[in-house]
Structure 1
């Protein structure tokens, strides 16, 4: 794999035995896949747990053992007709790609928009009762009202994935350091693991951000990164407000109160626009405002300090309100903004 590949991809497990953390949940999922048949009372499983604990990864790895995988993200198809068209047909048609059969993965089912979900969850429940294939669904929050029909269904097996403990994450990080020939000072990997709060994916991305290109990783290397992670959280909060809010005062307040690097923030908005804008006119308008914001940012950097920063309100207005109000048709959907970070930070990974 490419030298500058994202480490979550580079060191992704190839077999179920290589999956880190949640062995009990993984074994339950394997048993479901192994013992399922079209006459089973349990038609599908709902994998529940916080981000970065292996829900989607486990489904991918198990499917790679010889199954035909059909995957959709629930936040991308929001109503009954769309779900029946994509999931319904896949659940009834035979698989010509694998003798083991097909696995249908409905990722982030709790990400379905409550406003735009016109019978979407109900349609999935109906599909489960007729499916000829194994169905795996994932969700972050079991008690989200959007998925109450699935939570209370006798046809759905709920499997909980818990936050991964610090020792397990530290061991995984050490394995990566060994393969990257990085000598980590004692305590460094523990601190990265602790700050990830049970999210193995976040821990691996943090390790790459702070250690890539180094032969030795020291505790002092984490100080600058700690500042960046705090700033990153502020960016996530502001991004969510820009792309979800319709109140101009809340949008301005979220951006004004955040301590942000404006150049980095511009890049992050640029990364996220295609996830939130699906209509051509929305894309045209949002990138129009963002490009104008970039022009002002360039002028700010070129001009003398006082004269340049006088243009800051125009920069903020264009990249926040301008972009936000460009979304006129596409419903808001949850986006994992942390996954946008490595795409920008490691440009050679594209």
Structure 2
């Protein structure tokens, strides 16, 4: 029996088990009926409103454009989304145009996931967030048809899910202090750096808490000697790692920095999809996987598996997203050393109920699919 037949059989069996009434005896179970139909894709633009302005080394914004996606099959609906921070180069218009060009109605079997997602990937170059929205919705749909969450389908242990960091963007001393106080429920703080006030930001945080820090320079450091000096300074102040310290084009300089750094160096903007994992080996100690860059869960899972095989660290990150995409990424979190899944916590208009943080850690439950539902 091949994988597709196994998944279909599992889905039918679970569906039958869930609907068989108590009056049916064990020897007189109804024969499960196969599902049938075609995939129907719908989508709508949506703006994510940020609680605080979000500032990094290269830009600042108060909202993030988003597109919410539904993928329906035989009365069951899977949910996905495309989030578009500026540097991805996508817009609501480009995402809707890409999604509108797809003909998913040609597929009558959602469990042919590789076939469907290869069709989506080949429909046009780039468009990574748009492709991720379909991938997430398809994983949600098939997980619901099987009655299982994806972390369980992948054989991952939910108790291995790490704590998530909470992000403190670049801001005034007063706002940084307020954000640090608001982050009290979280075990790790992620600090955005890359401007002239980097040390002041860290000292402000350290005046309030001694929780571990992870630092994201967002390509903001261009002098390797000064970057190394700063990393040594950070290592003395409870920092776990430094993410994308130098511009992604400065490969030799980053490799030089990695060889001398007392802290792990993690790739973010340098890394998009699966082939980039091999390119990162020897230049970075680990990778930050984001669904909006990787085109979704299928490739993100492959990236994490390859990174592990190469002896690299794995981080699961996010953009500003609703609990839909955050919950999807959380399904992969037991594969990660670190997680930065707080994008839903930074917005005021979340449209989904999904993954929860308990005592600072990602708590995976048995909701089928990606673990999120609209509210």
TM-score range, shorter chain: under 0.3
Question: Where is the strand percentage greater, Structure 1 or Structure 2?
Answer: 2
Question: Where is the helix percentage greater, Structure 1 or Structure 2?
Answer: 1
Q: TM-score, normalised by structure 2?
A: 0.24
